[in-house]
Structure 1
Amino acid sequence: MAPRSEGGMTAGDAQHRPVEPTSFATLDALNAALAAEPPLVPGGTHSVPGEGPVGAAIAFVGEQPGDEEDRQGRPFVGPAGRLLDRAMAEAGISRDRVYVTNAVKQFKFIQRGKRRIHQTPTAGEVSRARWWLHQELDLVHPRVVVALGATAGLALAGRKVAVTRERGPLLFDNRRGYLTVHPSYLLRLPDEPARQAAYAAFLTDLNAIREMAA
């Protein structure tokens, strides 16, 4: 089962959309249906579902699973996830009380020898996966949805977002949201002073998010 087709989609996109929309009563039912879908991205192996309690005050949405997430079948367990855990702990946000997921549920990569190199999902791939994300959030029903990076912002807002310009509280359709950087951005910064400054700004965002959700 999968969602209805939308205008502007290609014939390839349409295979993920039946004529009539389908709603799911539980996250388990949604995730089972998603697991049965064809890959949403080239090279996708299996879907990595979101994780956390229904009714969580905060839902964090990233881009897509990485190599470790794909191997373990859990979101945010790689280097970026460990950095997010550290920052949440410092901001007084408990990982086991939030919901974490991704805009695209499968790891898009190219194989280079033994390494699987991350590839950013295209706008079309994000669009194909967007219905699943919004169904998921409808079931979790968080008070605040956090877009970690531009890909998550695109999936939630349905348009391109500029993190540097729009960073902060943002309305995603009818959802109270917040746009900030993805933790992987902090890991990619070239020098320690820049990383420290960016990490401090990320903590400021997380504190603001915690207050929004209170």
Structure 2
Amino acid sequence: MADAGDFLPDTRSLDALRAAASGCRGCDLYRDATQVVFGEGARSAQVMLVGEQPGDKEDLAGEPFVGPAGRLLDKALEESGIGRTGVYVTNAVKHFKFTERGKRRIHQKPSRTEVVSCRPWLAAELDAVHPELVVLLGATAAQALLGTGFKVTQRRGEVVDLPAEFTGTHAVATVHPSSVLRAPDRDEAYDAFLSDLKSARSALSRSSA
């Protein structure tokens, strides 16, 4: 079965990767999505943020984290001291998966097969950017790199090592900002999310010292 690895370019610059990703047919999600939504940000970012997949707004804009969850993420990044400027943001899956409900397109969680199929793009982005720290936003992103046994609820805010293929790169997992927007107590959920990002910022400071 084909996966994204069959569509990777020989040159692994971000520009080459982004151009090649537009033609990816590694899974069937491209059929219904408006366009691929590749990562964006600083080419030599210290921090890479990885979410699950683009949402409706991102699918239409062709840019990651530009909807309500993205605005909340921007706010938390600024308050944590990381900031949105100078980071690289992407998703584990590059096409929007949804079901139609009337005129609305409702987010659907990508399957494990779709996550694994798209993983070569994420691995290539990590190789191209080579961040010091990866912030994994939600279970899909965390399990894409750390395996299906990793539980965000149990290990959120903890500094962990990425697999050996990403030598020297650490990660901090937290919830996806969209879950904060859905939380019964949004203030409490936001404070916990912000605390995780502050842990990430502290880890980055220690690695840079």
Output the TM-score relative to the length of structure 2: 0.88
1:36 correspondence with 2:30 = no
The range that moved more, 34-43 or 20-29, is 20-29
Asked if the contact 1:39/1:46 (under 8 Å) is kept, the reply is: no
Shift of 1:85: 0.4
Asked if the contact 2:50/2:137 (under 8 Å) is kept, the reply is: yes
Asked if the contact 2:133/2:172 (under 8 Å) is kept, the reply is: yes
Partner Cα distance (1:206, 1:128) in 2: 28
Q: What does residue 46 of structure 1 align with?
A: 35
Q: What does residue 172 of structure 1 align with?
A: 162
* % identity of equivalent residues: 51
1:148 correspondence with 2:141 = no
Q: What does residue 194 of structure 2 align with?
A: 203
1:189 paired residue among 180, 183, 202: 183
Write out per-residue CA displacement over residues 156-201 of structure 1, whole angstroms, 9 at most, x where no aligned residue.
12334211112121222133111111001101112xxx22122111
3-state SS in 1 of match to 2:48 = strand
Asked if the contact 2:146/2:163 (under 8 Å) is kept, the reply is: yes
CA distance 1:153–1:15, change in 2 (3 Å): closer
Partner Cα distance (1:58, 1:127) in 2: 23
Q: How does 1:1-214 map to 2 (within 5 A)?
A: 11=1, 14=2, 16-18=4-6, 23-38=10-25, 40-42=27-29, 43-167=32-156, 168-174=158-164, 175-190=169-184, 194-214=185-205
Shift of 1:78: 0.5
User: Which ranges of structure 2 fall in alignment gaps of 5 or more residues?
Assistant: none
Partner Cα distance (1:183, 1:32) in 2: 28
Asked if the contact 1:50/1:75 (under 8 Å) is kept, the reply is: yes
Letter of the structure 2 residue corresponding to residue 76 of structure 1: F
CA distance 1:197–1:80, change in 2 (3 Å): same
Asked if the contact 1:150/1:160 (under 8 Å) is kept, the reply is: no
Shift of 1:22: 5.4
Shift of 1:25: 3.0
3-state SS in 1 of match to 2:72 = helix
RMSD after superposition: 1.8
